[in-house]
Homo-oligomer: A and B are copies of this chain.
Amino acid sequence: MPSRQQLANAIRALSMDAVQQANSGHPGAPMGMADIAEVLWNDFLQHNPANPQWANRDRFIMSNGHGSMLVYSLLHLSGYELPIEELKNFRQLHSKTPGHPEYGYAPGVETTTGPLGQGISNAVGMAIAEKTLAAQFNQDTFNIVDHFTYCFLGDGCLMEGISHEASSLAGTLGLGKLVAFWDDNGISIDGHVEGWFTDNTPARFEAYGWHVIAGVDGHDPQAIKEAVAAAKANTKQPTLICCKTVIGFGSPNKSGSHDSHGSPLGADEITATREFLKWPHGPFEIPADIYAGWDAKSSGAELEETWNAQFSAYANAHPELAAELTRRLNGDLPADFAEKAQAFVEQSQEKAENVASRKASQNSIEAFAAIMPEILGGSADLAGSNLTLWSNAKGISADDANGNYLYYGVREFGMSGIMNGIGLHGGFRPFGATFLMFMEYARNAVRMASLMGIPNIFVYTHDSIGQGEDGPTHQPIEQVANLRLTPNLTTWRPCDGAETAVAWKSALERKDGPSALVFSRQGLPAQARNAEQLANVAKGGYILKECDGVPQVILIGTGSEVGVAMDAAEQLSAKGVAVRVVSMPSTSVFDQQDAAYREAVLPRAVKARVAVEAAHVDYWSKYVGLDGAVVGMSTFGESAPGGVLLKHFGITADAVAQKAHGLLNC
């Protein structure tokens, strides 16, 4: 029977050997946190290596994702489908072991980490999802949803602002089943942290309302075990276990130094480490007794079987709840979604309300939340401006998690990282809102959702200078382009109620990535559409106004500028110009249409094209080329009423018509 330290040393050996083989990577954190991980995984973690998707597993997140070899070692040793060959291929193309843990590559990786501080926000999201799902579905004796979320953290995570946002909200919400472990090794990349990081971290987390267990020796299995037990026993507060560790533990000459952080130890030091750790086995060699000590396959199977039996009983007692929970965990839309959603789209078209698209968005939320109880809304303290509340919205609080709305506070990045955790957990379709400008505060979490393919919905209102008096700090210029250029993110900027309904419907139907829904503050005119046009909205771009014969000029508009393009078209038509107007609510969706459709909307032969958007002009070169023109912005905005600004910056029908005349005359 191997000792605990020997079990932990398997992680150390695999980590240093894989980094050495890749000649790239981070041995320090895995070697430092090996003992903590060993205790957590062997004594506490409820999981089933044979089924990484088991709904009620404990979640394990490594927020300091550069220590990915710790995760891969744990998954390999405990019996996941991650053979030793994959560890030998660490950081190589087509391996399951990329440099940072990537969601969807190795089984058992719960989220992609690496961008520091986001893992803890994902963990907070998972703990919220667990608590709220439990509140919605658990019945009498059936604790069908009942698991912990464990998160490892480094100094870097704690320095990042997002750790403040997420941890503060976790304290407020009393997430008792969240347990975080601080790898207090006193080292970051620049060296010993005293020169730049002197927080009293235990006091900081106590200030957030956390249960803090300070001064744990991160290399003492008994101390770690007692701390985790105490953490689990406190069900009212999240717990931070502060573990004093030595980075690169086991390396005689590099432990305790940033030299072990982000580079291979080197062959000689690896030999010395093997000696120090009394680990005589060759690279990637794990003795059978060590594997046996780690193996979680049978215990995991047993755990899941027990839960399955419990779930069967639950399904007998509460068949509808069980079916609904299953549907929601599978991420399936309700059976009547398509029909009801289509009806809502048609109704939105018929109503033809002249409202701000943010108001149209609220109407959509009202309609879709009634169909999909898995919608979990929220806003970063702008509910009344983003218009994110609906009639049955109910806030989630520490004492009552049975809600469907999160008051995120002024925490855009935290909100977005938490949404990602909720989305990854399953059971919910989160949306979260802020002003489009403050998407920037949260930007990298939006990218992470895109990278992981989480179908979250990011709602962004006040989308241009039309916002008005708040001035340039609140007026997006380059932000919509930034969203559109993000791979796997679908961005919608609808022009009226019907397009807004389609955008929401499309976002909810997406399964493989997030959507950004971009809305105006100001009122917008409803556009007339026939059935074919209404159906084509979902194609991202379509002919909203057609002319007889081949168009001489095509006007392309989006969002609040579709009305401008329509007005310009009227002016041009009056002068006998054959003009087509294309509404382009989603460029990425339009780009995904087949070539014939795209050619039908934007025929290559028509070079006279004018795009209009109260956003940066450069983006539109993609559709108008060198021969077309763009009416848009290339400077910052100003503070004044929105209508005044649109005129001041020339986002007008006159300007569009003038550009079109210019193209036709040359």
B195 touching A395, Cβ below 8 Å: yes
| A534, CB-defined interface residue at 8 Å | no
A100 touching B639, Cβ below 8 Å: yes
| Alpha-carbon gap, A200 to B383, bound state (A) | 25
| A163, CB-defined interface residue at 8 Å | yes
Q: Which of A198-222 contact B (CB under 8 A)?
A: 198-201, 203-204, 206-209
| A551, CB-defined interface residue at 8 Å | no
A24 touching B91, Cβ below 8 Å: no
Given contacts A203-B207, A409-B196, A441-B444, contact A24 B625 (CB under 8 A): no
Nearest residue (CB) in B for A489 is: B478
- Min CB distance, A367 to chain B, in Å? 23
| A57, CB-defined interface residue at 8 Å | no
| Alpha-carbon gap, A616 to B648, bound state (A) | 32
B155 touching A159, Cβ below 8 Å: no
Among the listed B383, B470, B607, B644, which residue makes an inter-chain contact with A190, where contact means beta carbons less than 8 Å apart? B383
B409 touching A197, Cβ below 8 Å: yes
Copies in the complex: 2
| A13, CB-defined interface residue at 8 Å | no
Given contacts A171-B198, A440-B447, A441-B160, contact A469 B409 (CB under 8 A): no
- Min CB distance, A302 to chain B, in Å? 35
A207 touching B197, Cβ below 8 Å: no
Q: How large is the interface on A (under 10, 10 to 19, 20 to 34, 35 or more residues)?
A: 35 or more
A159 contact set on B, CB distance < 8 A = 165, 168, 381, 409-411
Nearest residue (CB) in B for A195 is: B407
Among the listed B102, B172, B484, which residue makes an inter-chain contact with A196, where contact means beta carbons less than 8 Å apart? B172
How does the 8 Å CB contact mask read for A433-449 relative to B, with 1 for contact and 0 for none? 00001101101100110
| Alpha-carbon gap, A40 to B484, bound state (A) | 46
| A65, CB-defined interface residue at 8 Å | yes
| A482, CB-defined interface residue at 8 Å | yes
Among the listed B66, B444, B477, B622, which residue makes an inter-chain contact with A487, where contact means beta carbons less than 8 Å apart? B477
| Alpha-carbon gap, A384 to B159, bound state (A) | 19
Smallest CB-CB A-B distances: 7 pairs: A161-B161, A98-B639, A625-B626, A164-B164, A93-B640, A196-B409, A114-B473
Among the listed B99, B441, B448, B641, which residue makes an inter-chain contact with A469, where contact means beta carbons less than 8 Å apart? B99
Q: Which of A316-333 contact B (CB under 8 A)?
A: none
A65 touching B469, Cβ below 8 Å: no
Q: Which of A623-658 contact B (CB under 8 A)?
A: 625-627, 634-636, 638-641, 644-645, 648
A440 contact set on B, CB distance < 8 A = 443-444, 447
A171 contact set on B, CB distance < 8 A = 198-199
| A408, CB-defined interface residue at 8 Å | yes
Name 18 A/B residue pairs within 8 A (Cβ), A-sorted: A65-B473, A93-B639, A98-B472, A115-B438, A159-B381, A171-B199, A172-B195, A172-B196, A189-B385, A190-B383, A190-B407, A200-B208, A203-B203, A451-B636, A477-B485, A478-B485, A481-B485, A625-B625
A114 touching B471, Cβ below 8 Å: yes
A165 contact set on B, CB distance < 8 A = 159-161
How does the 8 Å CB contact mask read for A49-67 relative to B, with 1 for contact and 0 for none? 0000000000000000110
Given contacts A207-B203, A441-B160, contact A102 B190 (CB under 8 A): no
| Alpha-carbon gap, A619 to B481, bound state (A) | 10
- Min CB distance, A108 to chain B, in Å? 17
A382 contact set on B, CB distance < 8 A = 189-190
Among the listed B114, B190, B198, which residue makes an inter-chain contact with A172, where contact means beta carbons less than 8 Å apart? B198
| A397, CB-defined interface residue at 8 Å | yes
Q: Which of A155-189 contact B (CB under 8 A)?
A: 155-157, 159-165, 168-169, 171-172, 188-189
A450 contact set on B, CB distance < 8 A = 636
B208 touching A114, Cβ below 8 Å: no
| A546, CB-defined interface residue at 8 Å | no
How does the 8 Å CB contact mask read for A359-391 relative to B, with 1 for contact and 0 for none? 000000000000000000001011111000000
| Alpha-carbon gap, A627 to B607, bound state (A) | 11
Nearest residue (CB) in B for A208 is: B199
| Alpha-carbon gap, A473 to B116, bound state (A) | 10
B207 touching A201, Cβ below 8 Å: yes
Given contacts A24-B469, A98-B638, A474-B114, contact A485 B616 (CB under 8 A): yes
A618 touching B625, Cβ below 8 Å: no
| A593, CB-defined interface residue at 8 Å | no
| Alpha-carbon gap, A66 to B437, bound state (A) | 15
